Amino acid sequence: MPATTIGDERTYDDDQFTTREISRTERSKTVCGYFEPGQFIPVHSPDSDVTIVVQSGSGIVRDGNEEHDVSPGSLVTIPAGQDRGIRADDERLEAVLVVAPPPTDAEHDPVRRGLQNDEFEPER
């Protein structure tokens, strides 16, 4: 079982959010996510549940048609098949994301498209 800290995994990229995979099984995947101000994971809706726990910073989490303001200690769980995305406000955001089961590569096509076009809500 991996043991680490948010700080030990911390890495940022000026161009887009970064993730550090902490663990993966057939049933779940855990990553640490690091966002510079304004960076985001585009809205997408994979067939997996996700739980997001904000460690530092602030931003919004899209949960279906709702947006939740998040800050340290916020915890948001979004069921499989529902739209989700996360965007940092005007400061760095660090979060732990647990997805179950891990999404497929094809389910991340909207994420890649959104990042390529700098769109939080890419067309599907």
Q: What pLDDT digit, counting tens, does each position of 81-101 carry?
A: 999 999 999 999 999 999 999
- Residue 107 backbone dihedrals phi, psi, to 5 degrees: -70, -15
| Model confidence pLDDT, tens digit, residues 20-66 | 999 999 999 999 999 999 999 999 999 999 999 999 999 999 999 99
- pLDDT at residue 2, rounded to an integer: 72
What are the structural domains, with CATH classification, of the chain? 21-104 (2.60.120.10)
pLDDT for residue 102 is more than 80:
yes
pLDDT (0 to 100) of residue 1: 59
Q: Judge contact between 96 and 74, C-beta under 8 A.
A: no
